Structure 1
């Protein structure tokens, strides 16, 4: 499966950002991508007044997918009652395939005060993979990724808006989540400040397959048989001791 990572900078005007995103999407199509991944909150970042324009963005992405056959995963900001939701929408030529709402809200960007967290994980079959969707700060919670993995997920898709100032942690988490779960991980970030950590594709051993540091498109070929084979040859999951991990279900003690 050929997956395109769109390392994109959000512009001042939403229409300019969407125009650039479509330009990169068409380049991904020319390079033979079956799936293209855009960053978290790519049209707006945290400018809440732009959430009302999200429907026109989603309509444009759906139109591109219908025209080209390329599936598109994009992070967007949407109204959710009196608050907002940080969502990843996945489109195929036939329409909306999946919606994931960010489950871990980051205090550093005031998300808990303005957004409603998601209440469920989202996994689906994509191009021979069992894929699971997460967003940015979710990477700091390995329980989420292990929950996916024990259900058979072998490809993690992670739209993100991760600051360059914490890129050392970003790269560590991306590679750790892939290696510890024997799964591919595709994490796509913004190209502009204060974000700008590199977009990465990582293999099930935690090895870097693709890295983007400047705005543009990178396409990587992923083999769905590889994580299946690796899990058979080096069976980590059967060695788990769930009876020892019950503390993970407890609320943290206040200090």
Structure 2
């Protein structure tokens, strides 16, 4: 399966950003991509007033996907009662296939005060892969990715808005989450400041397959048979000791 990483800057308006995104998505389709990933909150960033435009953005994406057959993972900002929600919408030719609400809200951007946290993990079948969805700060919580892997997930798709100044941690987490779970990982970032960490595709060994650092498009071919083969040849999960991990279920002792 060919996946497109759409390394995109959020512009002054959602309409302008969407137009740029559709241009890059059209290129991805023409180059044979079956799935494309856009950044977290791609049309708006943290401009909360722009959440009003999200329904029209999603409608345009649905129209595009119906016309092209492409599936798109799009990070969007949505109104959620008096607060907002940071979501990843998976849009396919038949409409919205899945919706994931960010489960770990980052204090650095005021998310706990302005957004609702997601209450469930979300998986879906996509082009021969079992996909697990996450968003940006979720990468700091390996438990989430291990749960996905134990459910058979072999590809993580992660819209993100990770600051370039913390790019060293970003690359470490992306490669670690892939290697420790023997799964592909595709994480796509914003191109503009203060974000701008490289968008990455990582294989189930934790090796970098693709890096996109300038605004634009990168494409990578993923083999759905590889994670299963690796998990059989180098079995990790059967060696787990869940009886020793009960502390993971305890409430945090520090805030």
Which TM-score band applies after superposition, normalised by the shorter structure?
over 0.9
Identify the residue that residue 136 of structure 1 maps to in structure 2. 136
Identify the residue that residue 91 of structure 1 maps to in structure 2. 91
- After superposition, the C-alpha distances for 1:225-247 in whole angstroms (9 at most, x for unaligned) are 00000000000000000000000
Q: List runs of 5+ in structure 1 lacking aligned partners.
A: none
Identify the residue that residue 224 of structure 1 maps to in structure 2. 224
Matched, 1:159 2:173: no
Matched, 1:20 2:37: no
Q: So what's the TM-score if we normalise by structure 1?
A: 0.99
DSSP-derived class of the 2:186 partner = strand
- After superposition, the C-alpha distances for 1:93-120 in whole angstroms (9 at most, x for unaligned) are 1111000000000000000000000000
Matched, 1:147 2:139: no
- After superposition, the C-alpha distances for 1:35-75 in whole angstroms (9 at most, x for unaligned) are 01000000000000000010110011101100100001100
Cα deviation for residue 12 of structure 1 reads 1.0
DSSP-derived class of the 1:91 partner = strand
Instruction: Give the Cα separation in 1 of the matches to 2:113 and 2:123.
Output: 27
Q: List runs of 5+ in structure 2 lacking aligned partners.
A: none
Matched, 1:76 2:71: no
Matched, 1:177 2:182: no
DSSP-derived class of the 2:205 partner = coil
Instruction: Give the Cα separation in 2 of the matches to 1:14 and 1:58.
Output: 11
The 4+ residue runs of structure 1 with deviation greater than 2 A are none
Q: 1:26-45 to 2 correspondence within 5 Å? A: 26-45=26-45
Identify the residue that residue 119 of structure 1 maps to in structure 2. 119
Q: So what's the TM-score if we normalise by structure 2?
A: 0.99
- Cα RMSD of the aligned pairs, angstroms, is 0.7
Instruction: Give the Cα separation in 2 of the matches to 1:38 and 1:146.
Output: 24
Q: Tell me the number of residue pairs that the alignment of Structure 1 and Structure 2 aligns.
A: 255
